């Protein structure tokens, strides 16, 4: 059995920071996109296949870490959430 480590979680933090920046960049460029398109962009185009991303995880991640930058609304034709920038924030930083 491996002993517990006392690390500070720098890799976990680095992955979260990169994920937040990539999601913000994609949604600001493509407002009205769904979690499924975000996952497809991250997995295929950004080579984040090792992160285990699913639309469900993105749906939980955005309100938790990006609620200051992104908002969602219901797409009634498809019956799913779509994401876009908040009204006051149009910057990517």
Summarize pLDDT for 19-36 with one digit per residue, the tens: 999 999 999 999 999 999
For the segment 41-68, the average pLDDT, to the nearest whole number, is 88
> What is the domain extent for residue 78?
13-85
Residue 37 belongs to some domain of the structure: yes
Q: What is the full DSSP assignment across 1-61?
A: -PPPP----HHHHHHHHHHHHHHHHHHHHSTTEEHHHHHHIIIIIS--GGG---HHHHHHH
**Backbone torsions φ then ψ of 3, nearest 5 degrees:** -70, 150
- 91 pLDDT more than 60: no
CATH code assigned at 52: 1.10.10
Residue 4 belongs to some domain of the structure: no
Q: How many domains would you assign to the chain? A: 1
């Amino acid at each position: 059995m491996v002993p517990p480590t006392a690390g500070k979680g720098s890799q976990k933090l680095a992955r979260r920071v990169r994920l937040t920046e990539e999601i913000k960049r994609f949604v600001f460029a493509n407002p009205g996109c769904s979690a499924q398109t975000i996952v497809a962009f991250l997995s295929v185009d950004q080579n984040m296949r090792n992160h285990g991303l699913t639309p469900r995880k993105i749906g939980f991640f955005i309100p938790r870490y990006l609620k200051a930058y992104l908002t969602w609304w219901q797409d009634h034709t498809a019956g799913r959430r779509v994401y876009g920038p908040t009204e006051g924030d149009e910057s990517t930083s």
